[in-house]
């Protein structure tokens, strides 16, 4: 079955001194989602951006803001990100004591809810919350940094989740994040992914390359 493939450039690899222009450039280059990696120096060993930056970027594009929260505790900050303009809010089950409640909170605030699985996180957690999620994110690196190598052992996890999503009959996106390049993108798509996050592979070469970089991620070399 062919499904439409969406590309979600991670602005973690953008020029942070020119984020508005960078977001406009990837919008014009064909990005489907704008992937925003939020890190707190506690849940992951890096610190990035907060809701103020999401709010400042919101007027620069009408594309979907795909906000990936790598923060703990997480519940305290969800409303701030939704108010700032997040369309999808994705959380990690390890980031709070009550993953079901956290997903309920995202939905109650009117955003789409995503759950993210680290390479070491088993997929069974999804079964208990599949009725609440709009997106499942498979991490193909350990979260914290851009530019890491794709962990191919996660491909069977993507396949297993594709089976569960199809069996659920629900409209759930299956997103892959970490080390996605022209080659690994095709492996992820073959396994059943339909949203590809790409930081390094989008932003390499500067703005003149963005459209071609995104095209190659979507369709292959």
Q: Which stretch binds ligand DX5 (CB under 6 A): 58-66, 154-162, 182-190, 197-205?
A: 197-205
**Which two three-digit tokens encode residue 61?**
């594009």
**Given 20, 41, 73, 147, the residue binding ligand DX5 (CB under 6 A):** 147
Nearest to 48 by CA among 143, 136, 137, 169: 143
The stretches of 3-98 forming alpha helices (DSSP H) are 19-28, 51-57, 75-84
Q: Is 114 in the site for ligand DX5 (CB under 6 A)?
A: no
Sequence-distant (≥ 6) Cβ neighbours of residue 187 within 8 angstroms: 150, 152, 155
CB closer to ligand DX5 out of 144 and 207: 144
Annotate each residue in 174-193 with x if it binds Zn ion (CB under 5 A) or - if it does not, as one string: ---x----------------
Sequence-distant (≥ 6) Cβ neighbours of residue 27 within 8 angstroms: 34, 60, 61, 62, 63
Contact 201, 184 (CB under 8 A): no
**Given 77, 144, 182, 216, the residue binding ligand DX5 (CB under 6 A):** 144
Active site residues: 37, 177
**Given 72, 168, 187, 200, the residue binding ligand DX5 (CB under 6 A):** 200
Q: Is 121 in the site for ligand DX5 (CB under 6 A)?
A: no
Q: How far is CA 172 from CA 77, 90, 194, in A?
A: 24, 13, 10
CB of 200 to ligand DX5, least distance (A): 3
**If DSSP codes are grouped into helix, strand and coil, which group holds residue 23?**
helix
CB of 167 to ligand DX5, least distance (A): 27
Interface ranges with ligand DX5 (CB under 6 A): 10, 12-13, 35, 37, 68, 141, 143-144, 146-148, 177-180, 197-201
Interface ranges with Zn ion (CB under 5 A): 37, 68, 177
């Amino acid at each position: 079955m062919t499904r439409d493939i969406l590309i979600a450039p991670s602005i973690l690899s953008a020029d942070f001194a020119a984020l508005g222009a960078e977001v406009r450039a990837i919008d014009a280059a064909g990005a489907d989602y704008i992937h925003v990696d939020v890190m707190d120096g506690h849940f992951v060993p890096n610190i990035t951006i907060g809701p103020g930056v999401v709010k400042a970027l919101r007027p620069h594009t009408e594309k979907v803001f795909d906000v990936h929260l790598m923060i703990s505790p997480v519940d305290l900050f969800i409303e701030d990100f939704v108010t700032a303009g997040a369309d999808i809010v994705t959380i990690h089950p390890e980031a709070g004591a009550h993953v079901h409640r956290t997903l309920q909170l995202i939905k109650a605030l009117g955003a789409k809810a995503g759950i993210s699985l680290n390479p070491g996180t088993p997929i069974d957690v999804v079964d208990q919350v599949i009725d609440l999620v709009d997106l499942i994110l498979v991490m193909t690196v350990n979260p914290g940094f851009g530019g890491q190598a794709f962990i191919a052992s996660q491909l069977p996890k993507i396949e297993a989740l594709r089976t569960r999503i199809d069996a659920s009959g629900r409209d759930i996106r299956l997103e892959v994040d970490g080390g996605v390049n022209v080659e690994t993108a095709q492996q992820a798509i073959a396994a059943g992914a339909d949203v590809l996050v790409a930081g390094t592979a989008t932003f390499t070469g500067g703005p003149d390359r963005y459209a071609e970089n995104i095209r190659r991620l979507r369709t292959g070399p």
